[in-house]
Amino acid sequence: MAAPAQLKTSSKPKPAPKPAKVIKAPLPEALRLAGLPVEDYATGSNAAGVSDMSLEQAIGVQVRQLRRRVGITVSELAAAASLSGGMLSKIENGQISPSLASLQALANALNVPLTTFFSTFEEKRDCSYVKKGSGVVIERRGTKAGHQYSLLGHALGGAVVVEPYLITLHKDAAPYPAFQHEGTEFIYMLTGEVVYRHGDQSYHLTPGDALLFDSAAPHGPEKLLTKPMTYLSIITYARDPAQ
């Protein structure tokens, strides 16, 4: 019987993988240089895109929003400001540059400062940076129960308030399932283990678990299984127009 054939193995070493090519350019240009389609690389969000508005368009947006907030029609506001309906329609659509006299008349009719019409145009795209361990410690209802809230960022403007917290429950922390406040809350568990209640449901959270819920219902940690524990809490709610 012939001996089984020996499998030949190559002694040549495998070539080392080529290092990734680094392209230093804005995202659309970097995608083009890499031969990738620009349109396929969206954020995945359904949020509307941001476009630069002219001053006339920004003023028109503010006039329209303020008019709708008080619940009056174009003709009613035009009459109160001694303007024609056609003129006001063009102002709201950003088709003309209104005079200061017209803007002052609209401000008086809407009972707002004249500068309100320029707020959208002058709005800054702010950014908040908080270095590790430097978040401002905030006192909230759960503080007395041994819950520490470190505020991780703060937005100065915008229609929506976003409050990101790093919450730490120390060894002496007590359960507190009775929080209630406006808005929506997102929780992401980092360390420890907790049974978290929302309304009439309880959820066993371990690191990597997440909850997103309407924060108007009673909620909070119901059973502290492994302490200390930390989780990220992001609360969003509509900003009070008066603030």
Question: Helix 85-92 crosses helix 55-70 at what angle (to 10 degrees)?
Answer: 120
Quick one: 175 and 231 in the same domain? yes
Report if residue 117 sits inside a domain.
Answer: yes
The C-alpha atoms of residue 108 and residue 225 are separated, in whole angstroms, by 59
Domain boundary (96, 122, 148) is at 122
How many DSSP H helices and E strands does the chain contain? 6, 7
Whole-angstrom CA distances from 165 to 55, 78, 171 are 36, 46, 19
Quick one: 101 and 179 in the same domain? no
The C-alpha atoms of residue 141 and residue 178 are separated, in whole angstroms, by 9
Quick one: 142 and 115 in the same domain? no
Length of the chain: 243
- Domain with 189, as residue range(s), is 136-238
pLDDT at 38: 58
Q: What is the pLDDT of residues 173-204, one digit of tens each?
A: 999 999 999 999 999 999 999 999 999 999 99
Report if residue 111 sits inside a domain.
Answer: yes
Report if residue 45 sits inside a domain.
Answer: no
Report if residue 215 sits inside a domain.
Answer: yes
Report if residue 79 sits inside a domain.
Answer: yes
pLDDT at 208: 97
How many other CB atoms sit within 10 Å of the CB of residue 23?
12
Report if residue 174 sits inside a domain.
Answer: yes
Instruction: Read off the tokens for 64.
Output: 């329209």
Residue 182 or 42, more confident: 182
> How confident is the model over 31-38, as a mean pLDDT?
64
What residue type is 56 in one-letter code? E
Q: What is the pLDDT of residues 75-95, one digit of tens each?
A: 999 999 999 999 999 999 989
Question: Helix 100-110 crosses helix 85-92 at what angle (to 10 degrees)?
Answer: 90
Q: How many domains does the chain have?
A: 2
Domain boundary (93, 122, 151) is at 122
